[in-house]
C-alpha cells in the first residue's frame, strides 16, 4: 500500500477517534446531568423530551455534527483509495480538515463561542469542497499519466 494511502487512512482514523471521544464525553455529561437532576432515562427517550429536560447539549450537538459533513470527507477518502488516487495534496488537505474539525470540537465542547466555532467549521467546509473539486478535476489528468 502506498505511503499516501496509509496517511489518508490515518487521517480518517483520527477523525473517527475524535468522534468516539466526543461520544464518550456525551455519554458522561448526559449521565452526570441526568443523575444530578434525577431524570429517569425513560423521561428523556426522545430528542424532544431531552431538549425539554437537559441543558448541557454541547457534546450532543457536536457529536451529531461529526456525523454530518464529515461523511463527505470519509466518502472522498474511500473514493480516492478505491481509485488508487491518493496524491500528496489530498493527504495534506485531509490532515488540515481533521485539524479544523478538532478545533471545532474543542470550541463546541468547551467555551462554545459561536463565531470561533463558525470560523473552524467554515474553514473545514470550504476545504472539503475544494478537495472534492480538485480530486474530481485531477481524475482525467491521473488517467493520462
Report the phi/psi class of residue 117: left, alpha or beta, with left for phi > 0 and alpha for psi in -120 to 50: alpha
Nearby residues of 49 by Cβ (< 8 Å), 6 or more positions away: 43
pLDDT at 110: 96
* pTM (global) more than 0.85: yes
Domain count, the chain: 1
Whole-number Å distance between alpha carbons of 101 and 114: 14
Domain housing 55? 3-144
Cell digits of residue 53: 429536560
Provide the 10 A C-beta neighbour count for residue 97.
Answer: 27
CATH of the domain at 37: 1.20.120.550
Q: Closest by alpha carbon to 18, among 53, 65, 57, 77?
A: 65
Task: Label residue 90 by pLDDT band (50, 70, 90).
Answer: very high
pLDDT at 51: 82
Q: What is the pLDDT of residues 92-144, one digit of tens each?
A: 999 999 999 999 999 999 999 999 999 999 999 999 999 999 999 998 765 66
Whole-number Å distance between alpha carbons of 98 and 88: 15
Q: What is the pLDDT of residues 3-58, one digit of tens each?
A: 999 999 999 999 999 999 999 999 999 999 999 999 999 988 898 888 888 889 99
Amino acid at each position: 500500500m502506498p505511503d499516501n494511502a496509509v496517511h489518508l487512512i490515518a487521517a480518517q482514523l483520527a477523525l473517527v477517534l475524535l468522534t468516539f471521544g466526543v461520544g464518550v464525553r456525551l455519554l458522561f455529561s448526559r449521565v452526570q446531568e441526568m443523575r444530578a437532576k434525577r431524570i429517569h432515562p425513560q423521561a428523556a427517550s426522545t430528542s424532544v423530551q431531552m431538549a425539554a429536560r437537559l441543558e448541557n447539549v454541547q457534546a450532543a450537538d457536536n457529536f451529531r455534527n461529526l456525523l454530518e459533513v464529515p461523511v463527505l470527507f470519509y466518502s472522498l477518502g474511500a473514493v480516492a483509495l478505491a481509485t488508487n488516487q491518493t496524491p500528496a495534496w489530498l493527504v495534506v488537505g485531509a490532515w488540515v480538515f481533521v485539524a479544523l474539525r478538532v478545533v471545532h470540537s474543542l470550541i463546541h465542547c468547551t467555551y462554545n463561542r459561536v463565531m470561533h466555532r463558525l470560523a473552524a467549521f467554515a474553514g473545514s467546509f470550504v476545504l472539503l469542497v475544494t478537495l472534492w473539486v480538485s480530486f474530481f478535476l485531477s481524475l482525467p489528468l491521473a488517467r493520462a499519466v
